[in-house]
Amino acid sequence: MMEAEFIAALRRLPLHEGAQGLSDDVARLGDLVITTDTMIAGVHFLPDDPPGDVAWKLVAVNLSDLAAKGAEPVGILLNYPLSDTGWDRAFLAGLNACLSALGCPLLGGDTVGLPEGAARVLTVTAFGRADAVPARSGAKAGDRLWVTGTIGDAGAGLKAAQRGDGPDALIAAYRRPRPRLAEGRTLAPLAHAMMDVSDGLLIDGWRMAAASGLALTIALDRVPLSTTYRSYAGDDVLAAATAGDDHQLLCALPPEVAPTSIATCIGSFAVGKGLVLTQSGEVVALPPRLGFEHRA
Amino acid sequence: MMEAEFIAALRRLPLHEGAQGLSDDVARLGDLVITTDTMIAGVHFLPDDPPGDVAWKLVAVNLSDLAAKGAEPVGILLNYPLSDTGWDRAFLAGLNACLSALGCPLLGGDTVGLPEGAARVLTVTAFGRADAVPARSGAKAGDRLWVTGTIGDAGAGLKAAQRGDGPDALIAAYRRPRPRLAEGRTLAPLAHAMMDVSDGLLIDGWRMAAASGLALTIALDRVPLSTTYRSYAGDDVLAAATAGDDHQLLCALPPEVAPTSIATCIGSFAVGKGLVLTQSGEVVALPPRLGFEHRA
């Protein structure tokens, strides 16, 4: 079953009001913001990725969802498949490094025995606390679209890791993403809508616009690319804007707000629907794939 | 790595105080009680078990951990691997039945694509609210050990399902366990310690005694067996007491408390350590395996 069909079916089950109609990346319970992400070897990470990096990424992708709601991390649960001792030890070392670096303690979890030959499936559930929690769906016509940091580094890092030819900075962006927790706390009280860029800038921007019932124009020439990205991948902004794993924050801000020290303005929302791309003011065609979509 | 070694290593990471030193089946965050369980095809359920039953069991084992803390369910998160549409649809139907029957709504979750040939790995995280929360480790010398319901039905149901020869009541105990939520709320304010029986009565009783720093004697002839169990499996109380998946509640109560309408007294705690089994007042040898232990 496709993800969209499955989620539509889930919406017909008894839902908690904190589920927010399953329209966001987080659930809410009082002032708690809750998110969960599962990673599978061969899908979300390479089977030969260093286990410590897998641990880091698993925690970081969850904390990135908290960052997108302006939340302060409280703790995580870990669901872990026990396997060979060397892998488990290296995973624990990376987990320790990540929890210490990001100031997020372990709350609990579950361990299971991994059957011979089975793919590793790992889950983290993260808890944060927040006052102002911007939804994915709150953008208003006239809002500008802003994104933190640079786009495409992780996607290029994945290619670099596969080819074994890449700059360390790009591979680190793929393997050890830094959730934008401080930026999220700064932007959350200002933002009409916010989410993290996990499946690709274009698809996630499109999702924010669709959830908000608006049209979105993105100026490709304003999408921030790092110097390292440009020297490795050239000026291929479409590749950067459709690659996953950026874990930057995407937010809709009213026109009078301009947090230029932590983000870049790359587009605007208007009445209507759909996504329009421009380059130097001219409309350009959408690529066939806007980003990463989960499917069976 | 063995589970015990992994958990010992987790205890050396930054821990939230609500993790309770990873010594219980739940974490606590304010008045929230949080638990998570992962199930793997071929380990926790049979690959050809009906998908609706897998959904039921996945939710029920988590709510059983809430029941053991006297908690009222608030909601669940589901981490689900998308696969073939028929399996997904049947799973959703069972999930709907379970959430409706147990009065527990969906709060959120994550879906991932299941790679070709990969074993299904499913996780549920459950949230409940409770005032009095008995720990696993609170038993006192002189307390009696009580257990709700009957023991061994689910273990016999697993065999019956594998052989295709069993009574429906036993197979239902294995596939659609009923978390003892009402009993848990009644027992929690009375109990010094409480946990659910998930890996086997003997091993879970031993764990409660070890966590409490006490010795435990269990009178095998007092272990409650159902009529259906006896007619299918005979009087093999050791098989019943070492089988997993009962999801009854095990609690340590002071001697003056006797909730005989919902539980049976099967033993007592004393100063010391270790587990002693008796039959008609005589000490009998421990079986080589006290229950189910997770290992790599």
Q: What is the pLDDT along chain A (296 residues), one digit of tens a residue?
A: 888 999 999 999 999 999 999 988 899 999 999 999 999 998 888 888 899 999 999 999 999 999 999 999 999 999 999 989 999 999 999 999 999 999 999 999 999 988 887 889 999 999 999 998 999 999 999 999 999 999 999 999 999 988 988 899 999 999 999 999 999 999 999 999 999 999 999 999 999 999 999 999 999 999 999 999 999 999 899 999 999 899 999 999 999 999 999 999 999 999 999 999 999 999 999 999 998 765 43
Supply the DSSP symbol for A112.
E
pLDDT at position B296 is 33
Chain A CB contacts of B96 below 8 Å: 12-14
Supply the DSSP symbol for B43.
T
In sequence order, what are the beta bridge partners of B32? Answer: B29, B129
Name the residue facing B22 among A35, A42, A108 (closest C-beta).
A108
- H helices of A124-218, in order, are 153-163, 168-175, 181-187, 201-212
Q: Which residues contact A286 (CB under 8 A, 6 or more apart)?
A: A202, A275, A277
What strands lie across the sheet with A72-82, from one edge to the other?
A27-29, A32-40, A121-129, A72-82, A106-113
pLDDT at position A296 is 33
- H helices of chain B, in order, are 3-10, 51-67, 85-102, 153-163, 168-175, 181-187, 201-212, 227-233, 237-242
Q: Smallest CA–CA separation between B278 and chain A, in Å?
A: 32
Interchain pair A296, B9: CB under 8 A:
no
Interchain pair A42, B84: CB under 8 A:
no
Interchain pair B19, A43: CB under 8 A:
no
Chain B CB contacts of A100 below 8 Å: 14
Interchain pair A14, B100: CB under 8 A:
yes
User: Using 50, 70 and 90 to split pLDDT, how confident is the model at B265?
Assistant: very high
Per-residue pLDDT tens over the stretch B223-264: 999 999 999 999 899 999 999 899 999 999 999 999 999 999
Chain B CB contacts of A7 below 8 Å: 111
pLDDT at position A294 is 54
Q: Look up residue B120 and give its amino acid.
A: R
Q: Smallest CA–CA separation between A106 and chain B, in Å?
A: 5
Interchain pair B118, A118: CB under 8 A:
yes
The ipTM assigned to this model is: 0.92
Interchain pair A40, B114: CB under 8 A:
yes
Same fold, B3-129 and B144-284: no
| CA dihedral angle for residue B98, residue B100, residue B106, residue B111, rounded to 10 degrees | 40
Decide if B271 touches A, using CB distance below 8 A: no
Chain A residues 76-115 with a CB less than 8 Å from chain B: 77-85, 88-89, 92, 95-96, 99-100, 104-115
With CA atoms as reference, report the closest residue to B80 among B90, B91, B64: B91
CATH topology of domain B144-284: Phosphoribosyl-aminoimidazole Synthetase; Chain A, domain 2 (3.90.650)
Chain A CB contacts of B3 below 8 Å: 82, 111, 113
Chain B CB contacts of A113 below 8 Å: 3, 40, 43, 294-296
Q: Smallest CA–CA separation between A167 and chain B, in Å?
A: 29
Locate the domains of chain B by residue range: 3-129, 144-284
d(CA B89, CA B51) in angstroms, rounded, equals 8
pLDDT (mean) for B23-40: 94
CATH topology of domain B3-129: 60s Ribosomal Protein L30; Chain: A; (3.30.1330)
pLDDT (mean) for B95-109: 97
Q: Look up residue B61 and give its amino acid.
A: V
Checking if the pLDDT of B43 tops 90, the result is: no
Matching residue, tokens 């999220």:
A184
In sequence order, what are the beta bridge partners of B193? Answer: B252
End-to-end CA separation in angstroms for chain A: 6
d(CA A81, CA B294) in angstroms, rounded, equals 10
Interchain pair B296, A112: CB under 8 A:
no
Q: Smallest CA–CA separation between A293 and chain B, in Å?
A: 9
Number of A–B residue contacts, CB under 8 Å:
233
